[in-house]
Amino acid sequence: MPIPGVKNLIAIGSGKGGVGKTTVSVNLAITLARFGYKVGLLDADVYGPNVPLMMGVNQTPGARGERIVPLTGYGVTLMSMGFLNPGDGALVWRGPRLHGVMQQFLFGVEWGELDYLLIDMPPGTGDVQLSLIQTAAITGAVVVTTPSDVSLEDARKAVDMFSQVRVPILGVIENMSFMQCPHCHERLDPFGHGGGHRTADAMGLHFMGELPLDAHVRVGGDTGKPVSVKGSAEFDTLARDLIACTDVERSKRKTTISVED
Amino acid sequence: MPIPGVKNLIAIGSGKGGVGKTTVSVNLAITLARFGYKVGLLDADVYGPNVPLMMGVNQTPGARGERIVPLTGYGVTLMSMGFLNPGDGALVWRGPRLHGVMQQFLFGVEWGELDYLLIDMPPGTGDVQLSLIQTAAITGAVVVTTPSDVSLEDARKAVDMFSQVRVPILGVIENMSFMQCPHCHERLDPFGHGGGHRTADAMGLHFMGELPLDAHVRVGGDTGKPVSVKGSAEFDTLARDLIACTDVERSKRKTTISVED
């Protein structure tokens, strides 16, 4: 089911947690907004919602009738379980209740007119993920991984999950791909390098690019001031690629429909 | 409910994924086995089971009657969803079905006599986690985090989850705590440093120690040859701390029972 007013619904998933999925989501959303698009970001990681911390937004959303009025940060319309359950309390909920929350986050929030609604998916391939991708008409998915084999193993499972429910994969991003020693400026790769690209190639998927393990990016997220607010060449490039991939996907669909007609 | 023959049941959790929970579980299990204990490792991360890859074990477990016969790697008795669902297929299961699998992994596997059964918990605080910690009589939990605020935010939620169901926290481990540049040998901390210790102190929890972000540890996991197989000073120290903490916890319980008597 499409969300009224939302042109492109992009799921950002990973299989494995801790690979930088939220960092990528937050910075892509801010970059798209900087480019002039109307952008929303739905933090669907109900058990570990890190978007409020990373965006530096910590308020309670208001309501208009039965609908939730989302918050805004750096020009991005925001909704997160972290707004409804702030603090350190764990949300110990089972599947059916989560399904209801996902429905409400997708269809009960006043998203307004959006060019892009990015969904920061929870890691894994469980209940919440299924509810989300089966309920909403997702334009395409981006899979984030690190170069480590362990992360790639789970990324392939995420690709398989999206394929099982016929969500097209727009591309794969390799995060923590390399880093530069701040002392001797040599290039380091503590998590390995290139596995994301190789895996994308092997699976016939588009490789969207590499992102460095950059302390500035991490500090930006930890302090609620993402690097892309002031502009980041890496995220600019990624965002442009996302725009193009989304457009191609929509164009493919139109072609398929006219052929079927 | 206790598992017959299992003396200590230790849950290793994290809140956030990708912080090295499985790396810690695998290396602690191997180290305990090297110390002469009888050790089992249950990979409960059903959606992203990385234990088979990290232990270099990829077989199908046999059955004895209706019971599963676990596999063995580096002296550790092993069970993982990865043995039952090998390859890149995503396991797209909902809560109730997972609950059944957890029951079977705990009580339907021939664990035999074990001093320690470590459970590599799935990240988060959802269905599987609840099923696990409510079903089995867990001696105590270890929470793994990185120093980044985002990881600490989720670690506090994991602590809260264990507390809600009255599982004692044995301690907190800070992984990816620092690294050494292989070129200039300067100390780097791409994820920050010390947040795990500070968080443990603030929550009145025992801090078990820091583990470096070490390419050898990552490569060991990626190639199925964990560093602790040949002995690792860091994991030796952690394992000794775990033994002591577990013993203290059991001793506390005995005291409580005799006081109540």
Complex confidence, ipTM: 0.88
B255: confidence class by pLDDT, cuts 50, 70, 90? confident
Q: Is A73 on the interface with B (CB under 8 A)?
A: no
Nearest chain B residue to A94 by CA distance is B127
Would you call B90 helix, strand, or coil by DSSP? coil
Distance from CA of B200 to the nearest CA of A (A): 13
Check B126 against A215: CB less than 8 A apart: no
Q: Is B126 on the interface with A (CB under 8 A)?
A: yes
Check A164 against B88: CB less than 8 A apart: no
A-chain CB neighbours of B223 within 8 Å are 149
Asked if pLDDT for residue B143 goes beyond 80, the answer is yes
Nearest chain B residue to A222 by CA distance is B149
Asked if pLDDT for residue A259 goes beyond 80, the answer is no
One-letter-per-residue 3-state SS of B2-45: CCCCEEEEEEEECCCCCCCHHHHHHHHHHHHHHCCCCEEEEECC
Q: Is A204 on the interface with B (CB under 8 A)?
A: no
Could you report the per-residue pLDDT of B5-64, keeping only the tens digit for each? 999 999 999 989 999 999 999 999 999 999 999 999 999 988 889 999 999 999 999 999
B47, B125, B192: residue with CB nearest A91: B125
One-letter-per-residue 3-state SS of B218-258: HHHHHCCCCHHHHCCHHHHHHHHHHHHHHHHHHHHHHHHHH
What would the mean pLDDT of A120-134 be, rounded to a whole number?
A: 83
Of A10-14, A196-200, B9-13, B135-139, the one with minimum mean pLDDT is: B135-139
The DSSP line for B143-180 is EEE-SSHHHHHHHHHHHHHHHHTTPPEEEEEE-S--EE
Check A160 against B90: CB less than 8 A apart: yes
Question: What mean pLDDT is reported for chain B?
Answer: 92
Amino acid at A240: R
pTM of the model: 0.92
Could you report the per-residue pLDDT of B102-122, keeping only the tens digit for each? 899 999 999 999 999 999 998
The DSSP line for chain A is -PPTTEEEEEEEE-SSSSSSHHHHHHHHHHHHHHTT--EEEEE--SSS--HHHHHT-----EEETTEEEPEEETTEEEEEHHHHS-SS------HHHHHHHHHHHHHSB---SEEEEEEEPPSSSSHHHHHHHHHS---EEEEEE-SSHHHHHHHHHHHHHHHHTTPPEEEEEE-S--EE-TTT--EE-TT-SSHHHHHHHHTT--EEEE----HHHHHHHHTT--GGGG--HHHHHHHHHHHHHHHHHHHHHHHHHHHH-
Q: What are phi and psi for residue B93, nearest 5 degrees? A: -115, 150
Q: Which pair of structure tokens corresponds to residue A38?
A: 């109307």
Distance from CA of A106 to the nearest CA of B (A): 20
Asked if pLDDT for residue B149 goes beyond 50, the answer is yes
The DSSP line for B58-69 is ----EEETTEEE
Distance from CA of A65 to the nearest CA of B (A): 30
Nearest chain B residue to A51 by CA distance is B150
Could you report the per-residue pLDDT of A237-257, keeping only the tens digit for each? 999 999 999 999 998 888 766
Check A95 against B125: CB less than 8 A apart: no
What would the mean pLDDT of B118-138 be, rounded to a whole number?
A: 86
